[in-house]
Amino acid sequence: MTLHFAQDASSFAVAPSRLDAYVASRSFDQPTLVMDLDRVSAQYRALKAGLGRADIHYAVKANPARQIIARLVDLGSHFDAASKAEIAQCLAEGASPADVSFGNTIKRASDIAWAWDQGITLFAADAEEELEKIAANAPGASVYIRLIVEVSHADWPLTRKFGCDKDMALRLLDYAKALGLRPVGMSFHVGSQTRQAAMWAPTLDAMAHIWQAALDAGHMLDLLNIGGGFPAFYGEEIDAPTAYAAQVMQMVEARFPNVANIMAEPGRGMVAEAGVIVAEVMLTSRKSDRDMHRWVFLDIGRFSGLAETEGEAIRYQFETARDADPMGPCILAGPSCDSADVLYEKRPVSLPLSLKAGDRVLIRNTGAYTSTYSSVCFNGFPPLDVVVI
């Protein structure tokens, strides 16, 4: 299985050889995510080249490794934090409080107070009660309202968990003002892993309509947060990062003329391709002579880092040393005694027929939403190990 990285020419020189050289020269006694910091730098620069005047707020939840935050601070990135711990991590690595937004719409009141005390001034909200918590614990803070825009073309559309509709948003802008807060703008999310920039158009159209309604209602908005959705390569074609980001910005500028500040929150699109998981085959088997497919069991599964395989949503790319051998489909599963710990069954994965217990398997582009999803010790398995090079 040959892997095709989707990347700009500018980042081509650093990957994937540095990761591969490191991995090839070492043995690992448990599943391990290896992250290449230089690949993160290259991706930051590629995205920034396209995003232009927009501020990048790296979505820390994608991968909060200390070294990644530190590198992004050095590069001038801003940060989108989901919790007190993520804010603390950013500040500890040298980020300025002015460059860290508290983007989770669901915040503990005491965490808002703590963040405000640290100098964090920008908070997300999508509900009256959230605004009340912010007003009480961060009086006078800036807030942006998150919208639901249900026209997604993402590989993994978001549920209605976050955001509110237009009428509610306009009321929340008023309510924020009444509570003494500074309602500065709006945010939305096109959906995780939106593979082509062109897919943003319907969402941006809908948002521009809502934005104009807010302006018409007299709100002085100066911040548009375009959220995440920047893709990583998982086997299906994606636009290269600079071209993708530039096209998104072109569409944004055309629909939101003269908006003072724009922020974007890439997470997956920043770090996924900078990581590879080194795993091992535990067992290959058939359940019955009548079975269509083999089963292949890895030492990593849905509860030890590969949570995004739920519903077979994210399809990772696998590499083994036997990929020149004849290939065949298999059902791929994790090592735990949990029947839900199956990675790909509806759409089997093609792996070498010669694969056997003890073989190494590389899982490509796994730098985002893996290490922190890992369970603490389900079935007694240790959490995914992380090495940053």
CB of 137 to a second copy, least distance (A): 11
Q: How far is CA 144 from the centre of its chain?
A: 20
Q: Is 168 in the site for a second copy (CB under 8 A)?
A: yes
**x/- letters, 29..68, toward a second copy (CB under 8 A):** ------------------------------xxx--x----
The CB-of-45 to a second copy minimum distance in angstroms stands at 25
Asked about 337 being catalytic, the answer comes back as: yes
From 7, 11, 77, 83, residue interacting with a second copy (rule: CB under 8 A): 83
Site for a second copy contains 356 (CB under 8 A): yes
Angle between helices 241-255 and 201-216 (to 10 degrees): 30
Given the residues 90, 164, 330, 337, select the one marked as catalytic: 337
Q: By CB under 8 A, what part of segment 251-280 binds a second copy?
A: 280
The 3-state DSSP class for residue 104 equals coil
| Interface with a second copy, residue 283, by CB under 8 A | yes
Residues between 106 and 165 with contacts to a second copy, criterion CB under 8 A: 106-109, 126-130, 133, 148, 156, 158-165
Q: Based on the shown chain and the rule CB under 8 A, indicate whether residue 89 belongs to the binding site for a second copy.
A: yes
| Stretch near a second copy under the rule CB under 8 A, chosen from 82-90, 93-101, 115-123, 244-252 | 82-90
Binding to a second copy in span 308-337, by CB under 8 A: 310, 333, 335-337
Rounded least distance, CB 8 to a second copy, Å: 28
Q: Is 377 in the site for a second copy (CB under 8 A)?
A: yes
Query: What is the greatest pairwise CA distance in the chain?
Result: 71
Please name the residue that has the structure tokens 């290939």.
327
| Pairing verdict, β 100-102 and 78-81 | parallel
Taking the alpha carbons of 180, 100, 242, 194 in that order, is the dihedral positive or negative?
A: negative
For residues 289-317, one letter each, b for 16 or more C-beta atoms within 10 angstroms of the residue's C-beta and e for the rest, the string is: eeeeebbbbbbbbbbbbbbbbeeeebbbb
| Contact in structure between 288 and 353 (CB atoms under 8 Å) | no
Q: Which is nearer to a second copy, 6 or 296 (CB)?
A: 296
For the stretch 80-102, what's the b/e string if a residue is b when 16 or more beta carbons lie within 10 angstroms of its beta carbon?
bbbbbebbebbbebebebebbbb
Count the site residues for a second copy by CB under 8 A.
80
The beta-carbon contacts of 320-326 under 8 Å, at least 24 apart in sequence, are 320/351, 320/352, 320/355, 320/359, 320/360, 320/361, 320/362, 321/359, 321/360, 322/352, 322/354, 322/355, 322/359, 323/1, 323/352, 325/352, 325/353, 325/354, 326/352, 326/353, 326/354
Whole-number minimum distance, CB 191 to a second copy, in Å? 9
DSSP state of 232: -
Q: Which of 201, 208, 307, 321 binds a second copy (CB under 8 A)?
A: 307
Tokens of 294: 């083999």
* Cβ proximity to a second copy, 251 vs 386, nearer residue: 386
The CB-of-307 to a second copy minimum distance in angstroms stands at: 7
Q: Which of 70, 176, 206, 342 binds a second copy (CB under 8 A)?
A: 342
Within 183-202, which residues bind a second copy (CB under 8 A)?
A: 192
Active site residues: 337
